[in-house]
Amino acid sequence: MESALTKACTIKIDNFEGPFDLLFHLIEKNKVNIYDIPINEITDQYMDYLYSMQEMDLEIASEFLVMAATLLHIKSKMLLPDPKEKQEEEADPREELVTRLVEYRKYKDFSEVLKEKEAEWRKLYYKLPEVVEIKREDEILELSPDKLKTIYEELLTKNIEKINRRAVEMDKIIQHEKVTLRSKVKEITKILLKKTFFIFSEIFSLKKRSKVEVVTGFLAILEMAKMKKVTIEQRSFNSEIFVYRAGKDHKVLEDEKIAIDG
């Protein structure tokens, strides 16, 4: 007895790419869930399609026949289950077919995307590069010695005009005096090896040294005092700064400081 679903299906001979393409056509046409395929109806419709091809004397590919056998096998298992397996939980015989259908649909959808891209790029046209032939023509110049002299003088004049007259002054501005804290620490250490103390303004005088050297020298004595290598003393505001070698008894030098401070 033919089901109502099979009667309602109108078979149309299309150019299907394979058995899975035909199965998808039947599933979409009947609007059934791919995970719950009514295998009886789908099998009947699939077989009707093959019979229609035979009636039209069309050659049926072997892969369509293999799928027909697979559908008939699944249908028989669902209609006539094995009595030995009734007590056990049997796997759905459609499971493998559904898995292959889902995989096929994934690649089919991707192929549609590629077709859209191909159609889009077909609208673009490219022009091959042309070979441009450039004919070389040698030009003979007739120049007199006077003309060459004039051209040379013009080149010299243009070169002189490009020179920046204040380039030397700019070099002085951008030059930086290289004075490091380490070099001043070494200098102060050498001074204190020869004598027990010195007056800062006598060694680092602005008359003899640059501002950078004086400032770096002052930072050097502060760094050495922090490391307890020297002792710094200033008796009053704006008075002389005494720098002592570490460990020196200041009382011994009291007379010398009074004489210097006045």
The tens digit of pLDDT for each residue in 103-131 reads: 888 888 888 899 898 988 888 887 888 88
Q: Are residues 22 and 104 in the same domain?
A: yes
Look-up of token digits 């077909």: 122
**Residue 251 pLDDT more than 70?**
no
What the block records as the tokens of 31 is 């609007």
Q: Are residues 116 and 10 in the same domain?
A: yes
Average pLDDT, the chain: 77
- pLDDT tens track for 37-96: 888 888 888 888 888 777 665 566 677 788 888 888 888 877 776 665 554 556 777 888
Q: Is residue 164 part of a domain?
A: no
Average pLDDT over residues 15-29: 80
Angle between helices 95-121 and 19-30 (to 10 degrees): 100
Tell me the CA distances in angstroms from 198 to 136, 188, 203, 205, 248, one per residue in order.
Answer: 82, 9, 8, 13, 12
Give how many domains the chain has, as a whole number: 2
Which residues are CB-neighbours of 235 under 8 A, at least 6 positions away?
257, 261
Looking at the domain assignment, is residue 211 inside a domain?
yes
- How far is Cα 234 from Cα 15, in angstroms, rounded to an integer? 107
Q: Span 18-29, mean pLDDT?
A: 82
pLDDT at 168: 64
SS3 at position 109: helix
Strands (E), 61-107: none
Give residue 102's pLDDT.
85
Nearest Cα neighbor of 63 from 97, 22, 19 is 19
Q: Name the pLDDT band for 219 (thresholds 50, 70, 90).
A: very high
Looking at residue 92, the DSSP 8-state letter turns out to be: P
- CATH number assigned to the domain comprising residue 216: 1.10.10.580
Q: How confident is the model at residue 25 (pLDDT cuts 50, 70, 90)?
A: confident
Place of tokens 């069309």: 58
End-to-end CA distance of the chain: 135
Range of the domain at 12: 4-81+90-121
What's the CA gap between 250 and 255, in Å, rounded?
10
Asked if residue 218 is part of any domain, the answer here is: yes
On whether both 14 and 113 belong to a single domain, the answer is: yes
Is residue 146 domain-resident?
no
Q: Comparing C-alpha atoms, which of 121, 101, 88 is closest to residue 42?
A: 101
Position 136 in a domain: no
In a domain, 103, yes or no: yes
Sheet containing 242-245: order of strands: 197-199, 242-245, 230-233
Say if residue 115 is in the same domain as residue 214: no
Instruction: Report pTM.
Output: 0.36
Distances in whole angstroms, Cα of residue 18 to Cα of each of 66, 81, 95, 106, 122? 11, 29, 20, 15, 27
> Closest Cα partner for 92 from 47, 153, 49, 39?
39
Q: Which two tokens stand for residue 243?
A: 């720098």
- As a whole number, mean pLDDT of residues 5-9 equals 37
Helix axes 39-55, 62-79, angle to 10 degrees: 150
Asked if residue 129 is part of any domain, the answer here is: no
Lowest mean pLDDT among 11-15, 24-28, 216-220: 11-15
Contact 204, 214 (CB under 8 A): yes
117 & 8 share domain: yes
